[in-house]
């Protein structure tokens, strides 16, 4: 801004004052909306049961550390709870008792329309692998 006598002394203080407001009220919220960043936590069985919609925060730790690999079915039931659903086995035309599924939640972000799910695969009643997949969310327009 120019003053009456063409000095630009007001520009620097005005910039110093406005920059934090622009950052915290414009740039930072837009960054959070379009970014899929989320907090990550160590696996905690109590938190897993208490906040099912935030399980995605613990999922990366489960995969990176192989936390559940080699654990028995009863121990998994204790840590994660009873499975939420079983995978379908086309060959048997029935649910597969060795593939337990748990909902992880919806990752943060403005354009996420899919929920994450985790499949725990058992071999000889111990966890042999953990898979993840996405479930497309559908909105029931009739309600």
pLDDT single digits (tens) 45-61: 999 999 888 898 898 89
pLDDT value for 141: 61
Q: Angle at Cα 54 formed by Cα 48 and Cα 56, nearest 5°?
A: 90
pLDDT value for 1: 52
From the number of C-beta atoms within 10 Å of its C-beta (0-12, 13-18, 19+), residue 86 rates as: middle
Is the pTM higher than 0.85? The answer reads no
Cα gap 124→65, rounded to integer Å: 21
Q: Angle at Cα 114 formed by Cα 109 and Cα 119, nearest 5°?
A: 120
Q: Among residues 81, 70, 69, 83, which one has the least CA distance to residue 45?
A: 81
Range with the lowest mean pLDDT among 27-36, 45-54, 125-134?
27-36
Q: Among residues 53, 37, 62, which one has the least CA distance to residue 106?
A: 53
Q: What is the DSSP letter of 72?
A: B
At residue 132, does pLDDT exceed 80? yes
SS3 of residue 52 by DSSP: helix
């Amino acid at each position: 801004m120019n003053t009456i006598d063409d000095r630009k002394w007001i520009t620097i203080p005005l910039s110093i004052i406005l920059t934090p407001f622009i950052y915290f009220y414009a740039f930072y919220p837009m960054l959070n909306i379009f970014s899929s960043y989320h907090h990550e936590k160590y696996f905690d069985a109590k938190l897993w049961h208490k906040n099912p919609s935030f399980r995605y925060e613990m999922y990366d730790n489960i995969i990176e550390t192989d936390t559940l690999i080699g654990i028995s079915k009863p121990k998994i039931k204790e840590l994660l709870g009873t499975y939420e659903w079983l995978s379908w086995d086309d060959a048997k035309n029935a649910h597969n008792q060795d593939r337990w599924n748990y909902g992880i939640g919806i990752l943060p972000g403005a354009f996420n329309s899919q929920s994450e799910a985790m499949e725990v695969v058992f071999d000889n009643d111990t966890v042999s692998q953990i898979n993840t997949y996405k479930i497309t969310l559908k909105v029931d327009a009739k309600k």
